[in-house]
């Protein structure tokens, strides 16, 4: 079980992401510095208890509009070898010391636990409370069995549409980055074999629900 500490991080996550988000091809620039509010998300447990895993929803209010983004992050006590390009930044945690914060799409621990969640082998955890599950996060999967342990590093492609993650022996994983309200039916019944759906609440109090991730057996997986 991941332990959530009541402490500080310097710089904070939002501060780091304010600088990082505009560097992403899927970020819808307003021409202004992002004004970010935390709007939702959940956590997953690392079976080894070493890596913090968080799926964060951030809403950008800059430019007089609200756009919500899915930002999966991992928190590590040491650098992830070969993942320098995926580093969001480092932060000093009040209990754990220096934490290396990564775009989780590049981290095999996060990707492996996300696949386990979609297949039903893992349970979403509350974003803020230790030992509390989040039943609002739902998933379905209708494909072949997914590997319990990943082999190799994820192959990640960011586009203006989203993020595609590929690993040998698994369906293509598409991460939604710009979140859009929608139902939980398959986008393409001939290709989609799994889907993860969750909710978020924007700063104006509006509650939404939509697709966070999909698995596809063929074709372009980017959302």
pTM of the model: 0.91
In a domain, 4, yes or no: no
- Consecutive H or E run containing 109: helix 108-119
Residue 2: the pLDDT is 64
Average pLDDT, the chain: 90
Report whether 78 contacts 100 (CB < 8 A). yes
Identify the CA nearest to 162 among candidates 173, 172, 179, 175: 175
In a domain, 223, yes or no: no
The rounded distance, in Å, linking the Cα atoms of 143 and 205 is: 37
How many domains is the chain partitioned into structurally? 1
Per DSSP, helices labelled H in 43-170 are: 108-119
Instruction: Mark the ranges of the chain whose per-residue pLDDT is less than 50.
Output: 184-186, 219-220, 222-223
């Amino acid at each position: 079980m991941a332990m959530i500490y009541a402490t500080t991080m310097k710089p904070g996550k939002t501060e780091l992401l304010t600088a990082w988000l505009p560097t992403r091809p899927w970020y819808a620039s307003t021409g202004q510095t992002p004004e970010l509010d935390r709007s939702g998300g959940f956590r997953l447990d690392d079976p080894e208890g070493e890596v913090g895993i968080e799926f964060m929803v951030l809403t950008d209010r800059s430019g007089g509009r609200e756009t919500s983004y899915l930002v999966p992050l991992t928190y590590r006590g040491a650098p992830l070898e070969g993942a320098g390009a995926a580093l969001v930044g480092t932060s000093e945690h009040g209990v754990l010391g220096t934490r290396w914060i990564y775009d989780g799409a590049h981290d095999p621990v996060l990707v492996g636990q996300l696949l386990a969640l979609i297949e039903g082998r893992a349970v979403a955890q509350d974003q803020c409370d230790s030992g509390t599950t989040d039943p609002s996060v739902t998933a379905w999967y209708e494909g072949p069995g997914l590997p319990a342990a990943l082999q190799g590093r994820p192959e990640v492609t960011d586009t203006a549409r989203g993020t595609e993650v590929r690993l040998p022996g698994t369906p293509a994983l598409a991460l939604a980055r710009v979140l859009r309200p929608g139902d939980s039916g398959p986008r393409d019944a001939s290709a989609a074999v799994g889907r993860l759906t969750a909710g978020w609440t924007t700063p104006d109090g509006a509650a939404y629900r939509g697709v966070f991730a999909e698995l596809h057996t063929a074709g372009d997986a980017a959302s």
